[in-house]
Amino acid sequence: MNLLIIGPQASGKGTQAENLIEKFGLAHVEMGGLLRRVSKEDSELGNKVREVINSGKLLSDELVVEILNQHLSSLGRLDNILFDGFPRVLSQAQYFEKFLEKKGKKLDAVIYLTLPREITFERLANRRTCGTCGKVFNLKTKPPKKEGVCDYCGGNLVVRSDETPEKIETRLNEFEAQTLPMVTYLKQKGLVEEIDGNRPIEIIFADISERLKKRGLVKNA
């Protein structure tokens, strides 16, 4: 099966992606990480990506698909993949659909984790990251033993610069304006499993597994 996972910031997407990969033996194709890797490469594609990023522009759908295509060929298969971070807008989803179709493949389901806006803010407002080792804490659910100090390395705990309320607001607005139209499109295709992300991690994962089982995509969920 090929899955796509989507969800706003702090929806627990990363954790559920890890669970899916581990339990169902999927390959994780995570676009953000892939783009960062390619942008560091000394290759024609790497140069092209760097140029666009440095100019502050967004990568075109064609360029993103080119990178994805190259990565998928190196992976050597087009099955049992969890796509993450791509497609994220309607035009990409339509392009991607044709791309898979040409290869005789398809997307089997979309896991869409939902989270109320105020909960996103609450979760991120309580998040602290170690400036030294990068470990993440939560003042409510996973507080450090000593206030402001990392349990692992003794480094200072900080609010990440991309997790300020203004940045969160911008990103949530972007998600609603750009990604939700794609979700509507995929819903019309009957692909979307909408999952309430405002619950404990294990319960969310059990729910996801159950939905995949009902779709006949996995046997023992």
Give me the residues that bind Zn ion (CB under 5 A), please: 130, 132-133, 135, 150, 152-153, 155
Closest approach of Zn ion to the CB of residue 127, in Å: 14
Cα–Cα nearest to 205, from 218, 216, 191: 218
How many CB atoms lie under 10 A from the CB of residue 15?
A: 13
The region, left, alpha or beta by phi > 0 then psi within -120 to 50, assigned to residue 140 is alpha
Q: Which is nearer to Zn ion, 14 or 131 (CB)?
A: 131
Q: Which is nearer to Zn ion, 44 or 147 (CB)?
A: 147
Closest approach of Zn ion to the CB of residue 102, in Å: 47
Closest approach of Zn ion to the CB of residue 133, in Å: 3
Q: Which is nearer to Zn ion, 70 or 126 (CB)?
A: 126
Backbone φ and ψ for 34, nearest 5 degrees, come out as: -60, -45
DSSP state of 163: G
Q: Which is nearer to Zn ion, 46 or 155 (CB)?
A: 155
Q: How would you label 63-100 residue by residue, b for 16+ Cβ within 10 Å and e otherwise?
A: bbbbbbeeebeeeeebeebbbbbbbbbbebbebbbebe
Closest approach of Zn ion to the CB of residue 19, in Å: 25
Catalytic residues: 13, 88, 127, 160, 171
How many CB atoms lie under 10 A from the CB of residue 155?
A: 17
In angstroms, the CA 159 to CA 157 distance is: 7
